[in-house]
Chain A
Amino acid sequence: MSYHQKNVAVSLCSGLIVLTLYSIIVIRLYYDGRFDGPGAHWLVGWSPFAMFTGGIALTIVLHILSTIYRTVRKQEEEPFITDERDKMIELKGLRFSFFAFCIFFLAVMGALALNLMGPYTVLLFVVGGLYVAGISGEIVKLVLYRRDA
Protein backbone atom coordinates (compact mmCIF):
# COMPACT_ATOMS: atom_id res chain seq x y z
CA MET A 1 0.00 0.00 0.00
CA SER A 2 1.45 3.33 -1.06
CA TYR A 3 1.52 6.53 0.99
CA HIS A 4 -1.46 7.91 -0.94
CA GLN A 5 -3.49 4.72 -0.62
CA LYS A 6 -2.97 4.80 3.14
CA ASN A 7 -4.05 8.43 3.25
CA VAL A 8 -7.19 7.60 1.30
CA ALA A 9 -7.92 4.69 3.65
CA VAL A 10 -7.49 6.96 6.69
CA SER A 11 -9.80 9.61 5.19
CA LEU A 12 -12.34 6.90 4.41
CA CYS A 13 -12.24 5.59 7.99
CA SER A 14 -12.63 9.05 9.48
CA GLY A 15 -15.46 9.85 7.04
CA LEU A 16 -17.32 6.68 7.99
CA ILE A 17 -16.89 7.33 11.72
CA VAL A 18 -18.06 10.96 11.44
CA LEU A 19 -21.03 10.05 9.24
CA THR A 20 -22.09 7.28 11.65
CA LEU A 21 -21.86 9.62 14.65
CA TYR A 22 -23.70 12.38 12.78
CA SER A 23 -26.47 9.97 11.76
CA ILE A 24 -26.86 8.63 15.31
CA ILE A 25 -27.02 12.14 16.82
CA VAL A 26 -29.40 13.51 14.18
CA ILE A 27 -31.75 10.51 14.38
CA ARG A 28 -31.82 10.76 18.17
CA LEU A 29 -32.58 14.51 18.00
CA TYR A 30 -35.20 13.89 15.34
CA TYR A 31 -37.05 11.32 17.45
CA ASP A 32 -36.78 13.62 20.48
CA GLY A 33 -38.66 16.22 18.43
CA ARG A 34 -35.83 18.76 18.66
CA PHE A 35 -36.24 19.71 14.99
CA ASP A 36 -39.82 20.82 15.57
CA GLY A 37 -39.16 23.19 18.47
CA PRO A 38 -38.11 26.85 18.44
CA GLY A 39 -34.38 26.05 18.50
CA ALA A 40 -34.58 23.83 15.42
CA HIS A 41 -32.99 26.35 13.04
CA TRP A 42 -30.08 26.76 15.47
CA LEU A 43 -29.53 22.99 15.61
CA VAL A 44 -29.72 22.61 11.82
CA GLY A 45 -27.44 25.60 11.28
CA TRP A 46 -24.76 24.32 13.61
CA SER A 47 -24.86 20.70 12.46
CA PRO A 48 -22.55 21.13 9.41
CA PHE A 49 -20.03 23.16 11.46
CA ALA A 50 -19.96 20.50 14.19
CA MET A 51 -19.69 17.74 11.61
CA PHE A 52 -16.90 19.28 9.56
CA THR A 53 -14.93 20.43 12.61
CA GLY A 54 -15.22 16.97 14.13
CA GLY A 55 -14.32 15.41 10.80
CA ILE A 56 -11.19 17.53 10.36
CA ALA A 57 -10.05 16.87 13.94
CA LEU A 58 -10.62 13.12 13.61
CA THR A 59 -8.83 13.00 10.24
CA ILE A 60 -5.79 14.80 11.70
CA VAL A 61 -5.67 12.45 14.70
CA LEU A 62 -6.02 9.34 12.49
CA HIS A 63 -3.31 10.62 10.11
CA ILE A 64 -0.92 11.19 13.01
CA LEU A 65 -1.65 7.74 14.46
CA SER A 66 -1.25 6.00 11.10
CA THR A 67 2.03 7.83 10.41
CA ILE A 68 3.39 6.80 13.83
CA TYR A 69 2.27 3.21 13.25
CA ARG A 70 3.86 3.08 9.78
CA THR A 71 7.13 4.57 10.97
CA VAL A 72 7.39 2.24 13.96
CA ARG A 73 6.41 -0.82 11.93
CA LYS A 74 8.55 -0.21 8.85
CA GLN A 75 11.37 1.79 10.47
CA GLU A 76 11.68 3.84 7.29
CA GLU A 77 10.16 6.92 5.82
CA GLU A 78 8.25 6.49 2.61
CA PRO A 79 8.94 9.09 -0.08
CA PHE A 80 6.15 11.64 -0.35
CA ILE A 81 5.68 11.95 -4.07
CA THR A 82 2.50 13.11 -5.75
CA ASP A 83 2.84 12.25 -9.39
CA GLU A 84 0.49 12.56 -12.36
CA ARG A 85 -1.29 9.26 -11.62
CA ASP A 86 -2.07 10.37 -8.06
CA LYS A 87 -3.46 13.65 -9.41
CA MET A 88 -5.55 11.82 -12.01
CA ILE A 89 -6.98 9.45 -9.38
CA GLU A 90 -7.67 12.45 -7.14
CA LEU A 91 -9.58 14.14 -9.96
CA LYS A 92 -11.59 11.03 -10.77
CA GLY A 93 -12.53 10.67 -7.10
CA LEU A 94 -13.55 14.32 -6.97
CA ARG A 95 -15.63 13.99 -10.13
CA PHE A 96 -17.40 10.93 -8.74
CA SER A 97 -18.07 12.78 -5.46
CA PHE A 98 -19.57 15.67 -7.40
CA PHE A 99 -21.90 13.41 -9.40
CA ALA A 100 -22.86 11.44 -6.29
CA PHE A 101 -23.73 14.67 -4.49
CA CYS A 102 -25.74 15.96 -7.48
CA ILE A 103 -27.81 12.76 -7.60
CA PHE A 104 -28.28 12.79 -3.82
CA PHE A 105 -29.22 16.48 -3.87
CA LEU A 106 -31.78 16.00 -6.65
CA ALA A 107 -33.28 12.98 -4.85
CA VAL A 108 -33.65 14.96 -1.61
CA MET A 109 -35.09 17.99 -3.45
CA GLY A 110 -37.52 15.64 -5.17
CA ALA A 111 -38.59 14.38 -1.74
CA LEU A 112 -39.09 18.00 -0.67
CA ALA A 113 -41.11 18.78 -3.79
CA LEU A 114 -43.32 15.75 -3.16
CA ASN A 115 -43.76 16.85 0.45
CA LEU A 116 -42.19 13.65 1.79
CA MET A 117 -39.80 15.57 4.07
CA GLY A 118 -39.76 18.85 5.93
CA PRO A 119 -37.27 21.62 5.05
CA TYR A 120 -35.10 21.01 8.13
CA THR A 121 -34.90 17.29 7.42
CA VAL A 122 -33.91 18.07 3.84
CA LEU A 123 -31.14 20.39 5.03
CA LEU A 124 -29.83 17.70 7.37
CA PHE A 125 -29.88 15.20 4.52
CA VAL A 126 -27.96 17.63 2.30
CA VAL A 127 -25.29 18.05 4.99
CA GLY A 128 -25.07 14.27 5.40
CA GLY A 129 -25.05 13.94 1.61
CA LEU A 130 -21.88 16.02 1.42
CA TYR A 131 -20.15 13.46 3.58
CA VAL A 132 -21.68 10.50 1.72
CA ALA A 133 -20.41 12.00 -1.54
CA GLY A 134 -16.96 12.52 -0.02
CA ILE A 135 -16.86 8.92 1.21
CA SER A 136 -17.95 7.59 -2.19
CA GLY A 137 -15.12 9.60 -3.80
CA GLU A 138 -12.61 8.05 -1.37
CA ILE A 139 -13.93 4.57 -2.22
CA VAL A 140 -13.49 5.29 -5.94
CA LYS A 141 -9.91 6.44 -5.30
CA LEU A 142 -9.14 3.30 -3.32
CA VAL A 143 -10.64 1.10 -6.07
CA LEU A 144 -8.59 2.90 -8.74
CA TYR A 145 -5.39 2.52 -6.72
CA ARG A 146 -6.05 -1.19 -6.13
CA ARG A 147 -7.12 -1.87 -9.72
CA ASP A 148 -3.99 -0.38 -11.30
CA ALA A 149 -1.54 -1.82 -8.79
Chain B
Amino acid sequence: MGKGKIRNNIRRLRFDHGEMTQKQLAEKVGASRQTIVAIEKAKYAPSLELAFSIAHAFGKPIQEVFSYEPDE
Protein backbone atom coordinates (compact mmCIF):
# COMPACT_ATOMS: atom_id res chain seq x y z
CA MET B 1 0.00 0.00 0.00
CA GLY B 2 1.50 3.31 -1.11
CA LYS B 3 1.69 6.35 1.11
CA GLY B 4 -0.64 9.09 0.01
CA LYS B 5 -0.34 12.80 0.61
CA ILE B 6 -2.60 14.94 2.74
CA ARG B 7 -3.23 18.33 1.20
CA ASN B 8 -4.90 21.25 2.92
CA ASN B 9 -6.47 24.62 2.34
CA ILE B 10 -5.39 26.15 5.64
CA ARG B 11 -3.58 29.08 4.07
CA ARG B 12 -6.61 30.10 2.01
CA LEU B 13 -8.98 29.57 4.94
CA ARG B 14 -6.80 31.71 7.19
CA PHE B 15 -6.92 34.43 4.57
CA ASP B 16 -10.72 34.11 4.35
CA HIS B 17 -10.99 34.40 8.14
CA GLY B 18 -9.74 37.95 8.34
CA GLU B 19 -6.11 37.02 7.64
CA MET B 20 -5.87 34.92 10.76
CA THR B 21 -2.21 34.42 11.69
CA GLN B 22 -0.62 31.00 12.17
CA LYS B 23 -0.10 31.90 15.81
CA GLN B 24 -3.79 32.68 16.29
CA LEU B 25 -4.80 29.40 14.68
CA ALA B 26 -2.24 27.54 16.80
CA GLU B 27 -3.69 29.08 19.97
CA LYS B 28 -7.23 28.15 18.88
CA VAL B 29 -6.41 24.49 18.33
CA GLY B 30 -3.89 24.11 21.16
CA ALA B 31 -0.86 23.41 19.01
CA SER B 32 2.41 25.24 18.46
CA ARG B 33 2.90 27.68 15.59
CA GLN B 34 5.62 25.41 14.20
CA THR B 35 3.14 22.54 13.96
CA ILE B 36 0.71 24.72 12.02
CA VAL B 37 3.56 25.76 9.69
CA ALA B 38 4.48 22.10 9.10
CA ILE B 39 0.83 21.12 8.46
CA GLU B 40 0.31 24.05 6.10
CA LYS B 41 3.38 23.06 4.09
CA ALA B 42 2.08 19.46 4.00
CA LYS B 43 5.26 18.31 5.74
CA TYR B 44 3.36 16.88 8.68
CA ALA B 45 0.08 14.96 8.63
CA PRO B 46 -1.94 15.87 11.73
CA SER B 47 -3.83 13.39 13.87
CA LEU B 48 -7.56 13.04 13.29
CA GLU B 49 -8.23 15.00 16.47
CA LEU B 50 -6.05 17.95 15.44
CA ALA B 51 -7.43 17.87 11.91
CA PHE B 52 -10.99 18.11 13.29
CA SER B 53 -9.91 20.91 15.65
CA ILE B 54 -8.49 22.91 12.76
CA ALA B 55 -11.65 22.36 10.70
CA HIS B 56 -13.74 23.38 13.72
CA ALA B 57 -11.66 26.55 14.14
CA PHE B 58 -12.63 27.56 10.61
CA GLY B 59 -16.24 26.38 11.03
CA LYS B 60 -15.87 24.05 8.05
CA PRO B 61 -16.30 20.31 7.57
CA ILE B 62 -13.00 18.44 7.58
CA GLN B 63 -13.19 17.57 3.86
CA GLU B 64 -13.12 21.28 3.01
CA VAL B 65 -9.87 21.72 4.94
CA PHE B 66 -8.03 18.49 4.24
CA SER B 67 -7.96 16.21 1.23
CA TYR B 68 -6.21 12.93 0.62
CA GLU B 69 -4.29 12.14 -2.56
CA PRO B 70 -3.33 8.49 -2.85
CA ASP B 71 -0.12 7.54 -4.63
CA GLU B 72 -0.52 6.16 -8.14
Interface residues of A (CB under 8 A from B): 2-5, 79, 81, 83-86, 145, 147-149
Chain B interface residue bracket vs A: 10 to 19
Residue in A closest to B43 when the chains form the complex, CB atoms: A148
- B44 partner, pick from A3, A4, A5, A85, beta carbons under 8 A: A85
**Is B46 a contact of A84 with CB atoms below 8 Å?**
yes
Taking each of B32, B41, B44, which has the highest tally of chain A beta carbons within 10 Å of its own beta carbon? B32
Give Cα A51 to B46, complex, Å.
39
In the assembled complex, how far is the CB of residue A36 from the closest CB belonging to chain B, in whole angstroms?
52
Please measure, in the bound complex, the distance between the C-alpha atom of A84 and the C-alpha atom of B38, giving whole angstroms: 12
Report whether B43 and A147 are in contact in the complex, using a CB–CB cutoff of 8 Å. yes
What's the nearest-Cβ distance from chain A to residue B23, in Å?
9
Q: Is the CB of A83 within 8 A of B31?
A: yes
Residues of chain A within 8 A (CB-CB) of B43 are: 147-148
In the bound complex, do residue B32 and residue A148 qualify as a contact, i.e. CB atoms below 8 Å apart?
A: no
CA distance in complex: A148, B39 (Å):
9
When distances are taken between beta carbons in the complex, the residues of chain B under 8 Å from A3 are 32
In the complex, besides A84-B31, A84-B50, A86-B32, 11 extra interface pairs with C-beta distance below 8 angstroms are: A2-B34, A4-B32, A4-B34, A5-B34, A81-B26, A81-B31, A85-B31, A85-B35, A85-B44, A148-B41, A148-B43
B34-62 contacts to A (CB < 8 Å): 34-35, 37-38, 41, 43-44, 46-47, 49-50
A5–B35 alpha-carbon span in the complex (Å): 12
B44 contact set on A, CB distance < 8 A: 85, 148
Q: How far is the CB of A88 from chain B (nearest CB, A)?
A: 8
